Amino acid sequence: MEVRIISPTGRLLTVNRAVPIVETIFDFNGESRFLGDICRNGTKPNGIAILYDSSSIFEDNLSELVVGNLQSDVVEQIMQSLLVNGYYDFSKMGYQSTKLADKVVIDGGKTKPYTNEITFMSSKSYCSFVGNGFIVEEIAEEDGDCE
């Protein structure tokens, strides 16, 4: 069965893989830091990462959509809908309107969810969830310290 979603901005996407995630934002050394991972070991998820086929000439063949700051039961309902119905409409949710990652609120779904379709995730805050485990994607700085 082909699984499809309507993205938060209304795009119809074909899903390759969807995983529940757990994430948090915390202050460290005077800056906000994002920490996230694929949900494991009975941890309650608070977001979903979706790897989808991209048909844009401006993107890789596979791209990742993250919808975070969800309540655990909402994550479970979305995953169940993808499994049973092969479909979910993310455009029906209201989202945080911030464009900056350091303004995103992650509070277990008490406030609106966020998505990386709306919020710019900087190199200090963006990670790829649906690769083989947790992969931090850093942009090399002028000093070239990135591996």
Instruction: Give alpha helix (H) positions in the chain.
Output: 72-84
Closest listed residue to residue 63, CA positions, set 6, 14, 132, 20: 14
Q: What is the mean pLDDT of residues 26-54?
A: 86
**Residue 5 scores a pLDDT above 70:** yes
pLDDT of amino acid 25: 83
| 74-115 tens-digit pLDDT | 999 999 999 999 999 999 999 998 877 768 889 999 999 999
Give 3 or 138, the one with higher predicted confidence. Answer: 3
Q: 134 falls in which pLDDT band (50, 70, 90)?
A: very low
φ, ψ dihedrals at 102, nearest 5°: -75, 0
Q: What is the pLDDT of residues 13-29, one digit of tens each?
A: 999 899 999 998 888 88
